[in-house]
Chains A and B, each alone.
Chain A
Amino acid sequence: MGCVQWREVLSAQLDGEESPAERLAAERHLVGCAGCRAWYDQAAAVTRRVRLTPTGSEVDLTEAVLAALPPAAPRRRLLRLRLRLRLTVSLRAALALIGVLQLVLGLAQVGRGAAGPHIHAGGPLASGHLWHEAAAWNIAVGAGFLFVAARRTPPTGLVPTLSAFVGTLVLLSVNDLTTGRVDTTRLVSHAFLLTGYLIVVALSRTQARPGDPAGRARPGGSRWRLTEDDVPAPALRLLPSPHPGSAHHRYDTAA
């Protein structure tokens, strides 16, 4: 190991970054090497001088930096945003549950087939295929609910279809109820559909806000926006030349 390597160890020792083994070995080397001893003393002296170098003038940059930031969103608005986010999440969870129930309802309807006791009174049309068609609708609606719950986009596309479906069903149910053509247990199963529909409508309203078209805003992310177009690029002062035409070169010092 040459003196260059020893001096690296000695340098690390001045910064307290040497290993105990290195320190012992370096001490042994110093005993026998006058050159490294002298170098170590000089390096220690220079290091002390560098560390004692006073700092230059201090200008507080805080105001300048903060002034370059756009104003943060007020606290109340932040709170409202957070509340809304929580509401949306719970609504979607409820919708997912209803979607599953609706799916189960539809599948059970297929399984029980025309033999069940819930066949609507009526002619031969009511017995077979119509029953299956109603089951298919129930399954479709359940799948739609699940889809809306899983996606984060506002479910505006589903709203017209669902509105027509629910509206017609409500009108017909009221009619059937007054004429006694349906039993109440069957009507109760429509409650899933109705609640799901209301949630979809609510979701299509809460998520439609400007600046959040796809509902993909990261929760908890910063509300600060620093677009470089708004703020003029930080102008670096070019040093004014006191003597036009003076051509010193000082930039070779910087790497």
Chain B
Amino acid sequence: MSDDDGQVTAWALAAGRGDREAAAAFVRATQSYVRRFLAALVSPDEADDLAQETYLRAMRSLPSFAARSSARTWLLGIARRVAVDHVRVATSRPRTVPLSDSSEPADPRYSGFDQRVTLEQIIAALPGDRREAFVATQLLGLSYAEAAEICGCPVGTIRSRVARAREDLVAAVAVQPVRRRRAREDTAG
């Protein structure tokens, strides 16, 4: 994951100096994991809008980006704040939010698609700080140190949060009748 980290950071610095092509390359190279992060932190339906908000904030503060950390962790830190702000606003007023298709309860008999859905649901049900740590390290493949930088906490905290999240996941998966299926899926790849 750190192979093109230097390139992304270089693009970010050039974009901060006003280079539009570098800005475009920066967005193109980073948008997929920004969106993934936001989809897991908030909801897949709002990931696009929140990613856009993330980039607007990032572009505004790019001139002051000094490459003390890699541009990737810097950007994900902004995405995390966007998610936190969004959730704070969303929970501060009563709102009716319809369930999207992807969050319909999984039908155990309908096994072609539900593996992903149930996992997503289980991850979405994790407490906020555990989910943050888990998504950053597992879905985005970041190191504990990078995740700690994004979340603004010590590495040890990330480590224990990831472990707690794993325990929650193991417990949640064990409750569901998926264990027999899992053996089949593992052989299928």
Contact = CB atoms under 8 A, between A and B. Distances in A.
Interface in B47-75: 47-53, 55-56, 59-60, 62-63
A45 B186 contact: yes
Contacts, number: 172
Contacts of A7: 163, 166-167
Interface in A172-191: none
Nearest to B29: A62
Contacts of A78: 18
A53 B91 contact: no
A12 B163 contact: yes
A248 B105 CA distance: 13
Given A43-B170, A234-B52, A50 B138 contact: yes
Contact of A247 (B42, B83, B96, B131): B96
B160 interface: yes
A82 B163 CA distance: 54
Contact of B56 (A68, A73, A224): A68
Contacts of B20: 66, 69, 72
Nearest to B86: A236
Nearest to B55: A65
Nearest to B49: A236
Interface stretch (A24-32, A117-125, A238-246): A238-246
B29 to A, nearest CB: 10
Q: Tell me whether chain A's interface is mostly helix, strand or loop, or mixed.
A: loop
Interface in B1-48: 16-20, 23-24, 27-28, 31-32, 35-36, 39, 41-48
B152 interface: no
A248 B131 contact: no
Interface string A40-58: 0011011101110111101
Given A56-B39, A60-B28, A254 B166 contact: no
A7 B50 CA distance: 35
Given A56-B44, A243-B98, A42 B124 contact: no
A238 B45 CA distance: 10
Interface stretch (A83-91, A128-136, A153-161, A215-223): A215-223
Contacts of A115: none
Interface in B76-106: 83, 86-87, 90-91, 95-100, 103
B138 A8 contact: no
Interface string B96-129: 1111100100000000000110011001110111
Nearest to B39: A56
A68 to B, nearest CB: 6
A58 B135 CA distance: 18
A156 to B, nearest CB: 30
Contact of B16 (A10, A46, A55, A222): A222
A255 B87 contact: yes
A250 interface: yes
Nearest to A50: B138
Interface of B: 16-20, 23-24, 27-28, 31-32, 35-36, 39, 41-53, 55-56, 59-60, 62-63, 83, 86-87, 90-91, 95-100, 103, 115-116, 119-120, 123-125, 127-129, 131-132, 137-139, 141, 143-144, 159-160, 162-163, 166-167, 169-170, 173-174, 182, 186
Nearest 9 pairs between A and B by C-beta? A255-B128, A222-B63, A11-B163, A8-B163, A254-B87, A65-B55, A72-B18, A62-B27, A42-B170
5 contacts: A42-B174, A56-B36, A62-B27, A236-B50, A246-B96
Given A47-B138, A234-B53, 12 more contacts: A17-B144, A49-B182, A53-B139, A56-B36, A65-B27, A68-B56, A73-B18, A234-B49, A236-B49, A239-B98, A241-B98, A245-B96
Interface of A: 7-8, 10-12, 14-15, 17, 39, 42-43, 45-47, 49-51, 53-56, 58-62, 64-66, 68-69, 72-73, 78, 220-224, 226, 231, 234, 236-237, 239, 241-243, 245-251, 253-255
